[in-house]
Amino acid sequence: MLWVKSLHIVFVASWFAGLFYLPRIFVNLAMVPAGSVAERDRLLLMARKLLRFTTLLSVPALGFGLWLWLGYGIGRGPGNGWMQAKLAVVVLAVGYHHGCARLLRRFEQGANQAGHVWYRWFNEVPVLLLLAAVVLVVVKPF
């Protein structure tokens, strides 16, 4: 079980590293001047590659988490409300990931409507999600 838990932590940390950086690319994309085609194309390429890599990292992160939850019964049974809250955080993280993919498609289509300040705030969401997940798992407040 400790191997599975270790791999889960490594893949979650790697997945979130991508979720931390991808919106930073969006900030830069939102700031690209209209005539800077090469800069825009380079940032879009970086964002596409990072999204693809981050998506690949999310699969084992979620898989090892399911293994721990269903295979070893971690967080199941009475007195484990923290796990239901953590699962809600996981659902929000997956939703955020999909939201990033949608935003990237908007940038690719030239249909972005948000400014760089909005993306700076959007970039803080995965920090809060990771903080919530860690507190729930370590402190187990309920």
Q: What does the pLDDT look like over 65-117, one tens digit per residue?
A: 999 998 878 778 788 889 999 999 999 999 999 999 999 999 999 999 999 99
How far apart, in whole angstroms, are the C-alpha atoms of residue 35 and residue 78? 60
Query: pLDDT grade, residue 133 (50/70/90)?
Result: very high
pLDDT, tens digit, for every residue of 38-54? 999 999 999 999 999 99
- Please give the radius of gyration of the chain, using alpha carbons only, rounded to the nearest integer: 17
How far apart, in whole angstroms, are the C-alpha atoms of residue 47 and residue 25? 6
Residue 59 CA: distances (Å) to CA of 8, 53, 142: 10, 10, 28
Residue 32 CA: distances (Å) to CA of 26, 36, 140: 10, 7, 44
pLDDT, tens digit, for every residue of 84-97? 999 999 999 999 99
The model carries a pTM of 0.94
